[in-house]
Amino acid sequence: MLLENLIPNLPQLNMEIIVTALAIVCTFLIIYGLFLESEKRQDILYIIGFFGLFIYALFISSPVFVFTCLGMFVAATVELIEIMMGIHQQEKYDLKKIIRENKKIKK
């Protein structure tokens, strides 16, 4: 009772709890995907994460959120297919490589 007074928007139904937990897990997957080096792994996490958030957006009936999640899901899926087919080539320019190249140019 006290918790309901402090936070009135707590989910009441089991389905709401499950979908909210799914959204939280998928959000963490997307955030974790940002820190991965491999684009293939990034895209896999993005596909899983944005699909889960798409389900959550359908559950809360937010058309803007549905469209955003669906667009990101499709974009990540297309990029993963391009990587698997060998169409998408990744340039490996990280900060360390750029610094090394700049030091060589200055010398």
Global pTM? Answer: 0.71
- The interaxial angle of helices 14-34 and 39-60, nearest 10 deg, is 150
pLDDT at 94: 60
Give the pLDDT score at 101: 73
Tens of each residue's pLDDT in the chain, 107 residues: 455 566 666 656 678 888 889 999 999 999 999 998 888 899 999 999 999 999 999 999 889 999 999 999 999 999 999 888 888 766 666 666 767 777 766 66
Query: Counting beta carbons within 10 angstroms of the beta carbon of residue 57, is it exposed (0 to 12), middle (13 to 18) or buried (19 or more)?
Result: buried
